[in-house]
Amino acid sequence: MPDNYEVTMEDEDTEIKRRHWKETKMSVEEIRRLKLERHKKKQELKMAELRIKNNLKRIQAIEDEIPLLKMMAERSAHPNRYPAPSEPLKTVPPLKPFIITRDAQQKQVFGVGYPGIPL
């Protein structure tokens, strides 16, 4: 789609130049107006393409969600078919804090770094 449009824009540009050379009576204001119109057309096309791309992304996201929604609806319609796990998850005992030996050894050898502070 953009390639065809670019070709037409180039054709319009060459047409404007041809007209300018054929008709020397074409004013600078007229050439400027035609260029501004062409620029506005390009901008409108770019904005339309951007809106189309954004809408296609949204449609794709909706299509991706449809199977999930169907699965959720089926599970809520038949709660006995998908029972919850019977036994609770085992709790893991909390980890005990540990001291990295290298840091402890460094403190014994070098101290805290200040001679006035006791270990």
> What is the C-alpha to C-alpha distance for residues 30 and 98, in angstroms, rounded to an integer?
82
Is 51 strand, coil or helix? helix
pLDDT of residue 92: 82
Residue 13 lies in a domain: yes
Residue 98 lies in a domain: no
pLDDT of residue 2: 47
First to last CA, the chain: 77
Residue 33 lies in a domain: yes
User: For residues 53 and 103, which has the higher predicted lDDT (pLDDT)?
Assistant: 53
Residue 93 lies in a domain: no
Residue 111 lies in a domain: no
Residue 119 lies in a domain: no
User: For residues 108 and 28, which has the higher predicted lDDT (pLDDT)?
Assistant: 28
Count of structural domains within the chain: 1
Residue 64 lies in a domain: yes
Task: State if pTM tops 0.85.
Answer: no
Quote the radius of gyration of the chain (alpha carbons, Å): 37
Expressed as residue numbers, the domain containing 26 is 2-80
Q: What is the pLDDT of residues 25-49, one digit of tens each?
A: 668 888 899 999 999 999 999 999 9
Residue 25 lies in a domain: yes
Tell me which long-range contacts 48-54 makes (C-beta under 8 A, separation of at least 24): 49/1, 49/2
**Rounded to 5 degrees, what are φ and ψ at 2?**
-65, -35
> What is the C-alpha to C-alpha distance for residues 119 and 104, in angstroms, rounded to an integer?
11
pLDDT of residue 59: 98
